[in-house]
Structure 1
Amino acid sequence: MLTLFELFGFILLVIETLIGMVGNGFIAIVNCIDWHRSRKLSPADMILSCLSLFRFAFHAVTLQIAIFKLFFVDPFLMLKLNIAYDFSWLFLNTTSLWFAAWLSVLYCVKIANFSHPHFLQMKRRFPGLVPWLLLGTVVFSAITTTVAITGSIIVSKCNPFESHLNNSSDSGINTTNSCEFLTLPYIFPNLFPFMIFLFSSILLLTSLWRHKNLLRNSVSDASREVHLNAIKALASFSILYVTNVFVAILPIVLSRMGINDNGVHFIFLNVIAAYSSGHALILIFISPKLKQESVRILTR
């Protein structure tokens, strides 16, 4: 029997995932149309296309997880579905975090203005490395996800989402040391892109803020407003990204403490879905091409 809190969380999750799927699907379609017309993609559009496609799939998987957790209680069915969904969810979430981190780095090297030789070298070389970074991200995420899920199957009590293989207390197998080791593949893949994103975002925000102050007495209010809007958009995305990383890690910590409540789980899913949906809207808002296309569609 569903509780009122679980029903509210499920309805909110459906709304967030639908917004995220529409927003990310829109970004992917616009970039695919541009690629079809020009037969080439810029590094930024390449990252945006991959990010949007993976997030679209992530929202679809998240919604399916919520539906099966609430409405399907057959333990034999859930055993197989949980393994498949855990792998899909972790792989798509980790890959999306990496893509968002690379997007932040790309914006940093394109927009930020620093005279350090290493930064200037990165500014020249990074756009050409984007295709290889995207491919490497997918391979790395697949490897770490496989290691994490395989470990949780071998030692079922270590599954950070739910002990879907054996939840009974009569196992009698002491897996404490193994659990401490097997939770690492769940956490570290999220920490690496988080550190890259945080460092590049701080550099970009610092450069934008310094540039805005330098232009205070030399340009019009409209130009300063453009810089201020860019700072607000980047700061908003940074807050969403940091929140998403901590919320993705928090269930692992709670599960180690024996807390596996459906209501708490729905809170985490809602926050993560809100991050992905919110970032898609921010990307549409700050991109002139995407903003123009969205306005054209809405005013038809």
Structure 2
Amino acid sequence: MLPPILIVSITIVSIEVIVGFTGNGFIAIVNSINWIKSKNISSADMILIFLSTSRCILQVTIMIHIHSLYFTDVTKLSSVYKAFGAVWMFVNHASLWFSTWLYVLYCVKIINFTQRLLLQIKLRISGMIPWLLLGSLGISSMTSLPLLWITPGTYLCSSTGNCRENSTDHITNWDSSHLYLLLLYFAGCFFPLVLSVVTSALLINSLWKHTKKMQCYIDSFRDPLIDVHLTAIKSIISFLVLYLSSFAAQILLTLSTSQSKDVWKVAVSLVVAGAYPSVHSIILIIVNSKLKLAFRTICQYFKCRLENVTS
């Protein structure tokens, strides 16, 4: 029997996964339908399709991984742990890259650059996006596939709730296996996180300069570009906060090794880590006018159907 706090946290994570899977599925379906109808797709919508699809896979792997850790006989866990660990790391790194390219695209489109190199990037960014997405998949593969050759020397819980060391052969010690895992995780996260921070800083700097220029005009005049800046900044900052929280939670999960003395730390970390792809999908729907309109249309449709049934 699992500890009650762990049962509660897994239940919350399950709700997060359902919400996230629904939200990301909605984003992927709406953009795919628009792509099929118009036979054309914008760079932002292409990124959103890749991002939402990767997060749907990510949320499935989260649930399967939790099930394999806590509800499967410990003797069957070694290969499952490695396989789903590699898949999880791949889609986690890929979705991080996709989020980063989305905000880089927003930054390039919004900010008026004067430098020649940056101006060339601004003009060619749309054609670069497919290659950047494919490159992200390649980089994510390189930072996740080595996990298949790392044997986890971690404490795993059996279905009876007893935590003991994996008894399979050729178990490496905690230091080496977890060190490799952390290095791979850091390697896949470092550059996209740096790009996201730089993008956020550039947008904030651009907004500050634009606001100072607008102070020369009448106070009642509201420049739409300011609203665009603010929306992009809020979206990026919320993404950074969510991902960094998830990042810290994943590190704690790796260090906790599922021992009973760490059960509170494991429980909280599971909830925090699971919140990132779910909450961010909701934010993307809110800040995207096309997705928000589609969501309102669906809600209105179901509201009318419900009224017809009850009347």
TM-score (norm 1): 0.84
Instruction: Give the corresponding residue for 1:293.
Output: 294
Matched, 1:210 2:209: yes
Question: Corresponding residue for 1:240?
Answer: 242
Instruction: Give 1:143 shift.
Output: 2.1
How large is the Cα RMSD of the aligned pairs? 3.0
CA distance in 1, matches of 2:271, 2:65: 12
Change (3 A) 1:128 1:259: farther
Given residue 126 of structure 2, which amino acid in structure 1 is its aligned partner? P
Worse-matched range after superposition: 222-231 or 243-252: 222-231
1:272 paired to 2:246: no
CA spacing shift, 1:62–1:40, aligned 2, 3 Å: same
**For the structure 1 residues 61 and 188, does the alpha-carbon distance in structure 2 shift closer, same or farther, using more than 3 Å as the test?**
same
Give SS of 2:144's match: helix
**How far 1:180 moved relative to its partner?**
4.5
Give the C-alpha shift of residue 201 in structure 1: 1.7
Residue in structure 1 matched with residue 47 of structure 2 by the alignment: 47
Give 1:123 deviation, angstroms.
Answer: 1.1
In the superposition, relative to structure 1, how do residues 70 and 119 fare at CA in structure 2: closer, same or farther (>3 Å)? same
Partner of 2:28: 28
Give me the whole-angstrom Cα distance separating, in 1, the residues matched to 2:104 and 2:228.
20
Please say which of residues 171-180 and 243-252 is displaced more in the overlay. Answer: 171-180
Amino acid in structure 2 at the alignment position of 1:25: G
Deviation at 1:174, TM superposition (A): 7.0
Aligned AA (1:243): S
Show the counterpart of 1:5.
Answer: 5
Deviation at 1:206, TM superposition (A): 2.1
- Between the aligned partners of 2:112 and 2:29, the Cα distance in structure 1 is 32
How far has the Cα of 1:21 moved from its partner? 0.5
Does the CA contact (< 8 Å) of 1:194 and 1:245 recur in 2? Answer: no
Amino acid in the other structure paired with 2:70: L
Take 1:198 and 1:79, find their aligned partners in 2: how far apart are those partners?
A: 37
Q: CA separation of 1:144/1:299 partners in 2, compared to 1, >3 Å: closer, same or farther?
A: same
**Alpha-carbon distance in 1 for matches of 2:261, 2:267:** 11
Does the C-alpha gap of structure 1 residues 261 and 90 become closer, same or farther in structure 2, counting only changes over 3 Å? farther
Q: Deviations over 1:138-182 (max 9, x none)?
A: 1221122111331x12xx43x6x96999647x9897785686466
Structure 2 match to 1:283: 284
Cα distance in 1 between the residues matched to 2:235 and 2:209: 16
Larger radius of gyration: 2
Q: Distance in 2 between matches of 1:295 and 1:203?
A: 33
Given that residues 252 and 265 in structure 2 are in contact (C-alpha distance below 8 angstroms), is that contact kept between their aligned partners in structure 1?
A: no
Q: Distance in 2 between matches of 1:266 and 1:277?
A: 17
Give the deviation of 1:42 after TM superposition. 1.0
Structure 1 window deviating more from structure 2 (288-297 vs 63-72): it is 63-72
Counterpart Cα distance in 1 of 2:133 and 2:261: 34
Once the two structures are TM-superposed, the CA of residue 23 in structure 1 deviates from its matched residue by 0.6
Matches within 5 A, 1:1-300: 1-72=1-72, 74-150=73-149, 152-153=150-151, 156-157=152-153, 167=166, 180=179, 183-216=182-215, 217-218=217-218, 220-221=221-222, 223=224, 227-252=229-254, 261-300=262-301
Q: Distance in 2 between matches of 1:143 and 1:67?
A: 26
Q: Residues 241 and 275 of structure 1 are in contact (CA less than 8 Å); yes or no, is this contact kept in structure 2?
A: yes
What are the superposed Cα offsets for residues 51-74 of structure 1, whole Å, 9 maximum, x if unpaired?
0000011111112222333322x1
Q: Residues of 2 paired with 1:248 and 1:241: CA distance?
A: 10
Paired amino acid for 2:88: W
Following superposition, the deviation at residue 125 of structure 1 comes to: 2.2
Residues 61-97 of structure 1: per-residue CA shift (max 9 Å, x gap): 112222333322x122222221221111111111111
Partner Cα distance (1:121, 1:145) in 2? 33
1:299 is paired with a residue whose SS is: helix
Give CA deviations for 1:110-154 in whole Å, capped at 9, x if unaligned: 11233233322221222211111111111221122111331x12x
Change beyond 3 A, Cα 1:143–1:284: same
Q: Where do 5+ consecutive residues of structure 2 fail to align?
A: 159-163, 302-311
